[in-house]
Structure 1
């Protein structure tokens, strides 16, 4: 990797992995979820990670986000070296650098849409509570922000989770199958929101099993058996509205 490339991946939202491994279990029961992964993601890109079930996609997302420690290799995200960090340090890193979007939303059922976003601002000490209504309005929930998750459709709940992920102004958004529980039309609208977040300067790293979604990415990472098989560069990413599946 060139010195220029190394500099790129140390900027806010940039990702650099070298020889990263993640093993679950020990002895004969050991399973290598990640096996010697090398990956460079410049800041500000929309990246899609593709691969069959069990290929290591979600584990890759988790080690990049500091949710799980790697068992081998070096991980640098936004210029922060994650290898060997204590759990408390990883919590601080996530709060400052990462926004998460999950397939099943992970909203607090006893809080309204507005409160689900506000609580992240309060817990992290980042962002501005006064900006939360505008953020929910920007994801199409101006008239639903005082509803509880059970009163919202799946697509609306995912919109809340995207607003929550953006509330702390992260350099990198990690999305794990964000359209997996949604119908096609709603899925497209969620992809459009993630694409808009990317166009506003944030990096977006999205795991999906849907090959068609790769068309919206600047870079497509193909995984198999815990390894990166190939990385493709898309010079002309498609608009989310044009994705078909």
Structure 2
């Protein structure tokens, strides 16, 4: 058995679920004003796999991410996360499912400015009823912020704020982590730190989907999905993902 095969199996053995999108389409507006944001998307993401979604602005990347995470609903097709099809469930149940299974990381952090880094992680546990507050110091330590728990967002750098947002996303122990342009507001050095965290998160057994316009950042992924005009135009397997610490752009 090759080292790569052993690595893949060990990841899969630790994982709780992946995501499968089949025939997913989404249109905004009607008639001549209709915009076909997604057209007949088929995409499988395995547990423990990091997938980068690349494309120009307006290509459908963020819509794909929002539908994959249950923030938006598809017009047609199925979305299966951790073995459950979420495409037909009611909004309230969908919110519960998203809370229990999906973590989100956004480009602009979305931290609460009046709460400390520790409190920003704790609040998601309190709101969802999932996770363990006793793990918050461990999560902050894992993202390199063990000594910043009592700092407010304004006292943290952009990279540190994004790392808090990743700790928050992981606080409920989700099966799937979705990241929308997570390095878009960061310089290269801090961007590398965030990419390293995403890479490690996938190696710990979660499916990770990262939307980006950055070819260099996408090089850390196991696969690169390229989109144009709401369609997947290429899906490339990366036999040797780049270590995040070496990424340059």
Shared fold (TM-score, shorter chain, > 0.5): yes
Deviation at 1:37, TM superposition (A): 0.7
Q: Displacement, 1:50?
A: 0.5
Q: Give distance in 2, aligned partners of 1:176 and 1:27.
A: 30
Q: Tell me if 1:173 matches 2:177.
A: yes
Number of aligned positions between the proteins: 236
| Residue in structure 1 matched with residue 217 of structure 2 by the alignment | 213
In the alignment, the residues of structure 2 paired with residue 132 and residue 21 of structure 1 have an alpha-carbon distance, to the nearest angstrom, of 38
Q: 1:143 — aligned with what?
A: 147
Say yes or no: does 1:134 pair with 2:149.
no
How many Å apart are 1:206 and its aligned residue?
0.3
Q: Is residue 31 from structure 1 mapped to residue 25 from structure 2 by the alignment?
A: no
In structure 2, which of residues 110, 114, 122 is the aligned counterpart of residue 110 of structure 1?
A: 114
Give yes or no for the alignment of 1:12 onto 2:19: no
Structure 2 regions of 5+ residues with no counterpart?
1-11
Structure 1 segments of 4 or more deviating over 2 A? none
Matched, 1:46 2:62: no
The answer for the alignment partner of 2:5 in structure 1 is none
2:60 pairs with 1:76: no
Where does residue 186 of structure 1 map in the other structure?
190
Equivalent of 1:239, from 222, 243, 246?
A: 243
SS where residue 198 of structure 1 aligns? helix
Structure 1 gap segments, 5+ residues each: 1-7
Contact 1:12 1:79 (C-alpha < 8 Å) held by counterparts: no
Let me know the Cα RMSD of the aligned residues: 1.2
TM-score by length of 2: 0.92
The two structures have a TM-score, normalised by structure 1, of: 0.93
1:87-139 deviations in whole A, cap 9, x for unaligned? 11111111111111000001111111111100111111111001101111111
2:163 is the alignment partner of 1:159: yes
